[in-house]
Amino acid sequence: MSTYDAIYQIVRQIPKGKVATYGQVADLANLYGKARLVGYALYRVDTNSDIPWHRVINAKGEISQSPERFGADYLQRTLLEQEGIKFNPEGKVDLREHRWRPNN
């Protein structure tokens, strides 16, 4: 299994209405300290893929903005809101409420 496949396998487990951080996904994929690698892997995913890429956000509870995503930042927020994820006025998700806890 490739490194990216390991990342995608973890991301596919994140349920609707929950989010995980890049670092959390890296840790669960046994890629400790490789949060950026998770970001690179998810950047390569087609927005119509079965991989719920939109459920991964940064450790601040924010969508990581990228001018190279051609509007996918806005799509990510829309998809999360459709799943019941709420953003505060600063554009942050409350990770205490919405973070995925796979071992619970």
What architecture does CATH give domain 3-98?
A: Orthogonal Bundle (1.10)
Give the residue extent of every domain in the chain: 3-98
Could you report the per-residue pLDDT of 61-92, keeping only the tens digit for each?
A: 999 876 555 555 678 999 999 999 999 999 99
The angle subtended at Cα 66 by Cα 70 and Cα 48, nearest 5°, is 50
Distance CA 12, CA 64 (A): 19
Could you report the per-residue pLDDT of 28-60, keeping only the tens digit for each?
A: 999 999 999 999 999 888 878 999 999 999 999
* Whole-structure pTM value: 0.92
Looking only at the bridges linking them, the beta strands covering 20-21 and 56-57 are parallel
